[in-house]
Chain A
Amino acid sequence: MVSAAPLAVPAAPPILAAQGLGKRFGHFRALSGVTVDFSEGGITAIIGPNGAGKSTFFNLISGAFPPSEGRVLFRGQDITGRPPHHFARMGIAKSFQITNLFPHLSVRENVRVAAQARRVRFAFFRDRAAYPELTERAEALLAEVGLGDRMDRLARELAHGEQRALEIAVALAAEPTLLLLDEPTAGMSPEETRDMMDLVQRLAETRTLILVEHKMKLVMGLCRRLVVLHQGELLAEGSPDDIRAHPEVRRVYLGTRA
């Protein structure tokens, strides 16, 4: 595992960089000219009101679809337009906003098959049980996200909050150094939200996290940096204190919500 990097190593390139990212859907400009650097370690939150382009931005930096303009760099390397499975193999994992699991597989198999993706793919003859390290890893991850007693259930049988946790375990199974989370607390009860935020904080101890969040209050306390999008453009970025004090942010975001 990559340990949490010290706050500022001068020469190291940012773990992820968006350079002038833009996306058009037909005539609709969902995002334009967003340039942001994400440095190694800690949590960065991408926030903004509905329709700000958060999800589009998330999908671009996670490789779900290619940008119409601009580039995505991972540790200085241009990865724009590469297929999604390349992102995973480079160590970028993501969880989806809508629960996105393997519904008819067991909870254990969900994580095991994800862990397998980076190790063995085209093995046609050996039994999958012949790779006990994958099963062990899956079980360890499930324990980490609090699903240790649910491993034999089918993914579709879990409660919503549990599915979100499983979602994270599936993402972690790919051994990411960079973890992207799209609204991890969407649709959760207050208790589930609290558990999820605790989990997010624990995960960030050993990885870099970028998360999209709709609820600004939730992330203010735990993230190191915030990126604020508004109407498809970058509005502001900085520490939580900077953002709180930012007049534009106050106007468009806090103003409309408070």
Chain B
Amino acid sequence: MSAPLTRIAAAEDGVPAARPGSGRTGRWLRRAGRHRVALTLAFLLILPWIAPYQALAVTILVLGLYALGFNLLFGYTGLLSFGHAAFLGGGAYGCGIAIVRYGLHPVLALVAGTLLATLIAAAMGVLAIRTRGIYFAMTTLALSMCVYYGFYQAESFTGGENGLRGINVPSLTLPGLRLSLLDPIVKYYAVLAVVGLAVWLFSRLLSSPFGAALEAIRENESRAQACGYDVRRMKLVAFVLSGALCGLAGALQAIHLSIVPIETMHYSTSGQAVMMALLGGMGTFFGPFVGAATFALLQDGLATLTSHWQLFVGAIFIAFVLFLPLGIWGEVLARLRRAGW
């Protein structure tokens, strides 16, 4: 009957983020928690100047949003999904198709992509939420494979095996503003404007009564239900919101890469979200960006050394599960907290 145990419940001093209502956090961490959006944005503002190259910074930004959306479900609601590629891919295809086939304005295309991902999430969620615990991971994986094959088959719309090509957005025209996205720095800050908005909304969501209820569900599902929460409905809403955020990330990725490879929807992309959330620290606000940066840098660095970088990514991931289950940022927070910060 007990709720699926999460990594947080298993960890030694696993108080995840500094968040309202969690006790015994030192003064500095509490203060940082109150300004988590500002601090995150400050980091993202300087990221292109510390990243090895600027296109990688955009990748980190987009992957960070993807991991952030995933973390809403995994870290804050306690549901482990292995199907989030369907949302990243849904957002990417939705945005790409809107631009390539219908010539929509990029901003509207972002909306279209997010909407498509939201719809996919709703359809998958209605089914997946009927299973609990470990079966949820299995069901979401299987359902996302179904979406993958669907998009694979719908060749006239999605380009099938070859992916969707030609999503060229050289510039962005807004009222009174014209930005050239060919300049990587301009592109980065344009993407950051969207990601920053999403980060702010995400923070509001976590602080809201709904966010509190999600944490309660993560901590103890049957208790939350006995308190009067309709746990199933709340999980579904969390699933859909998580899908929408990942869809937005996918839409941004489509514009960033100007192509949507079919692999975007593949199981391994779902696994990437899991890896980033775990590397960074699940259930922490800033962890997804740390995880995304770690993953992107690892991939980028290893790929120049060996074509078999996945071997090392897998081994590093295993090491994290065994020895550093809180993830990088989660471990940092736990140590600072123990030190009385």
Direct contact of A and B (CB under 8 A): yes
Q: Which residues of A are in contact with B by a Cβ distance under 8 Å?
A: 62, 64, 83-85, 87-89, 93-94, 96, 100-109, 112-114, 116-118, 120-129, 131, 151-154, 157, 170, 173-174
Q: A89-B228, A124-B205, A174-B227 are in contact. Are A104 and B21 (CB under 8 A)?
A: no
Residues of B within 8 A of A109 (CB): 21-23, 212
Q: Which residues of B are in contact with A by a Cβ distance under 8 Å?
A: 1, 8-9, 14-16, 20-24, 204-205, 207-213, 215-216, 219-220, 222-231, 234, 237
Residues of B within 8 A of A105 (CB): 21-22, 215-216, 219
Query: From A84, which residue of chain B is reached at the shortest CB distance?
Result: B225
Q: A94-B226, A102-B220, A114-B227 are in contact. Are A121 and B213 (CB under 8 A)?
A: yes
Contact assessment for B21 and A128 in the assembled complex, using a CB-CB cutoff below 8 Å = yes
Minimum CB–CB distance for A149 against chain B, Å? 12
In the assembled complex, the Cα of A2 lies from the Cα of B224 at a distance in Å of: 24
Contact assessment for B227 and A173 in the assembled complex, using a CB-CB cutoff below 8 Å = yes
B207 interface neighbour in A122, A128, A152, Cβ under 8 Å: A128
13 further A-B contacts with Cβ under 8 Å, apart from A100-B223, A101-B220, A104-B15, are: A84-B226, A103-B9, A103-B219, A116-B209, A117-B213, A121-B213, A121-B230, A122-B237, A124-B208, A125-B204, A129-B207, A154-B24, A157-B24
Contact assessment for B23 and A154 in the assembled complex, using a CB-CB cutoff below 8 Å = yes
Query: From A123, which residue of chain B is reached at the shortest CB distance?
Result: B209
Contact assessment for B23 and A85 in the assembled complex, using a CB-CB cutoff below 8 Å = no
In the assembled complex, the Cα of A246 lies from the Cα of B65 at a distance in Å of: 68
| Interface residues of A, dominant DSSP | loop
Contact assessment for A121 and B209 in the assembled complex, using a CB-CB cutoff below 8 Å = yes
Residues of A within 8 A of B208 (CB): 123-128
Residues of B within 8 A of A124 (CB): 204-205, 208, 210
Contact assessment for A117 and B23 in the assembled complex, using a CB-CB cutoff below 8 Å = no
Residues of A within 8 A of B207 (CB): 127-129
Contact assessment for A152 and B23 in the assembled complex, using a CB-CB cutoff below 8 Å = yes
Query: From A102, which residue of chain B is reached at the shortest CB distance?
Result: B219
Q: A104-B22, A123-B208, A152-B23 are in contact. Are A113 and B227 (CB under 8 A)?
A: yes
Query: From A156, which residue of chain B is reached at the shortest CB distance?
Result: B9
In the assembled complex, the Cα of A5 lies from the Cα of B295 at a distance in Å of: 64
Minimum CB–CB distance for B104 against chain A, Å? 27
In the assembled complex, the Cα of A124 lies from the Cα of B206 at a distance in Å of: 8
A113 interface neighbour in B216, B222, B225, B237, Cβ under 8 Å: B216
Minimum CB–CB distance for A94 against chain B, Å? 6
In the assembled complex, the Cα of A112 lies from the Cα of B15 at a distance in Å of: 18
Query: From B220, which residue of chain A is reached at the shortest CB distance?
Result: A102
Using a Cβ cutoff of 8 Å, how many contacts connect chains A and B? Answer: 135
Contact assessment for A107 and B23 in the assembled complex, using a CB-CB cutoff below 8 Å = yes
Q: A103-B219, A117-B229 are in contact. Are A126 and B209 (CB under 8 A)?
A: yes
Minimum CB–CB distance for B298 against chain A, Å? 29
Residues of A within 8 A of B227 (CB): 85, 88, 113-114, 117, 170, 173-174
Contact assessment for B23 and A120 in the assembled complex, using a CB-CB cutoff below 8 Å = no
Q: A154-B15, A170-B223 are in contact. Are A128 and B228 (CB under 8 A)?
A: no
In the assembled complex, the Cα of A84 lies from the Cα of B229 at a distance in Å of: 9
In the assembled complex, the Cα of A131 lies from the Cα of B234 at a distance in Å of: 20
Query: Chain A CB within 10 Å — which of B209, B227, B228 has the most?
Result: B228
Closest 5 CB pairs of A and B: A88-B228, A109-B21, A106-B23, A102-B219, A152-B23
| Interface residues of B, dominant DSSP | helix
Residues of A within 8 A of B14 (CB): 104
In the assembled complex, the Cα of A38 lies from the Cα of B172 at a distance in Å of: 70
In the assembled complex, the Cα of A186 lies from the Cα of B224 at a distance in Å of: 22
In the assembled complex, the Cα of A100 lies from the Cα of B3 at a distance in Å of: 10
Contact assessment for B219 and A104 in the assembled complex, using a CB-CB cutoff below 8 Å = yes
Residues of B within 8 A of A84 (CB): 222, 225-226
Minimum CB–CB distance for B111 against chain A, Å? 19
In the assembled complex, the Cα of A89 lies from the Cα of B223 at a distance in Å of: 14
Contact assessment for B220 and A100 in the assembled complex, using a CB-CB cutoff below 8 Å = yes
Contact assessment for B222 and A100 in the assembled complex, using a CB-CB cutoff below 8 Å = yes
Residues of A within 8 A of B21 (CB): 105-106, 108-109, 112, 128
A152 interface neighbour in B15, B24, B220, B231, Cβ under 8 Å: B24
Contact assessment for B212 and A83 in the assembled complex, using a CB-CB cutoff below 8 Å = no
Contact assessment for A101 and B223 in the assembled complex, using a CB-CB cutoff below 8 Å = yes
A153 interface neighbour in B9, B24, B215, B220, Cβ under 8 Å: B24
Query: From B22, which residue of chain A is reached at the shortest CB distance?
Result: A106
Minimum CB–CB distance for B170 against chain A, Å? 36
Contact assessment for A128 and B211 in the assembled complex, using a CB-CB cutoff below 8 Å = yes
Contact assessment for B220 and A113 in the assembled complex, using a CB-CB cutoff below 8 Å = no
Residues of B within 8 A of A107 (CB): 23
Q: List 11 A-B contacts (CB under 8 A).
A: A100-B222, A100-B226, A101-B220, A103-B220, A109-B23, A112-B21, A121-B234, A125-B205, A128-B208, A131-B209, A154-B23
Contact assessment for B237 and A117 in the assembled complex, using a CB-CB cutoff below 8 Å = no
In the assembled complex, the Cα of A106 lies from the Cα of B19 at a distance in Å of: 10
Contact assessment for A116 and B1 in the assembled complex, using a CB-CB cutoff below 8 Å = no
In the assembled complex, the Cα of A103 lies from the Cα of B216 at a distance in Å of: 9
Residues of B within 8 A of A123 (CB): 208-210
Residues of B within 8 A of A108 (CB): 21, 23
Minimum CB–CB distance for B221 against chain A, Å? 10
In the assembled complex, the Cα of A257 lies from the Cα of B231 at a distance in Å of: 42
Residues of A within 8 A of B234 (CB): 121-122
Query: From B201, which residue of chain A is reached at the shortest CB distance?
Result: A125
